[in-house]
Amino acid sequence: MPTPTTWLAFVVATLALLLIPGPSVLYVLARTVEHGRSAGLHAVLGVETGALLHVVAAATGLAALLASSEIAFSILRCTGCGYLLYLGARQLRRVKAYAAIPTPATSGSRRRLILDGMLVDLLNPKTALFFVAFLPQFVDPAQGSAASQIVVLGLSFVALAAFCDAAYAVAAGGLARRIRSSSPAQRRVDKTAGGLYVGLAGLTAFT
């Protein structure tokens, strides 16, 4: 187990990182604005489920194996890029649907929101590399098993990330209600969300 001092240092470093919105935050905000606060919180659940799987991969050495294999890393990167492009295309199709038959926005399937969030996080190779590079910095060999320390630190990271992402979803909930009452505003949101997913796919592919 990490010492209290090490754990506290980890928490401070994690909060500093979480203050900078990343792809998962952008995904949660997009879902919240599209479908409302409940949808945003379900998206958070999906994203953090993906993060938990990354923690398991880091603790078992799978993430380090991935990072050391150029082929495996490239496959994961291409898969993640493809999935983001799929999300972007789905949003842009919604824009065309609104243009043809204006309809009010409806809540997305809870299961779909969770699955999308999990895959957005899980298929991001940079997240895997982050856990491989970040968590071991706070592992002390004198405190026992490195894997158990990584699990404790990883769970702490996921809990803090869930709190921060949920705060974004709650804060954006009020804006979502106003946007969902206007079809033109909803179309603009869908265009923005579609462009955002395509942009994230480009970042995944070329960085």
Residue 112 lies in a domain: yes
Q: Is residue 18 a part of any domain in this protein?
A: no
Q: Is 63 helix (H, G, I), strand (E, B) or coil?
A: helix
Say what the pLDDT of residue 180 is.
62
Number of domains making up the chain? 1
Better-scored residue on pLDDT, 103 or 8 = 8
Range of the domain at 125: 4-13+23-206
- What pLDDT is recorded for position 12? 92
Q: Sign of the C-alpha dihedral, residues 98, 103, 105, 106?
A: negative
Q: Look at residue 106 and tell me if it is in a domain.
A: yes
Report pLDDT digits (tens) over 121-161.
888 777 777 787 788 888 888 877 888 888 899 999 999 99
In a domain, 103, yes or no: yes
- Quote the pTM value: 0.74
User: What is the distance in angstroms between the CA of the first residue and the CA of the last residue of the chain?
Assistant: 35
Task: Tell me what pLDDT residue 123 has.
Answer: 80
Looking at residue 101, the DSSP 8-state letter turns out to be S
What is the percent of the chain with per-residue pLDDT over 90, rounded to a whole number? 14
Residues shown for the chain: 207
What is the rounded distance in angstroms from the CA atom of residue 35 to the CA atom of residue 164? 19
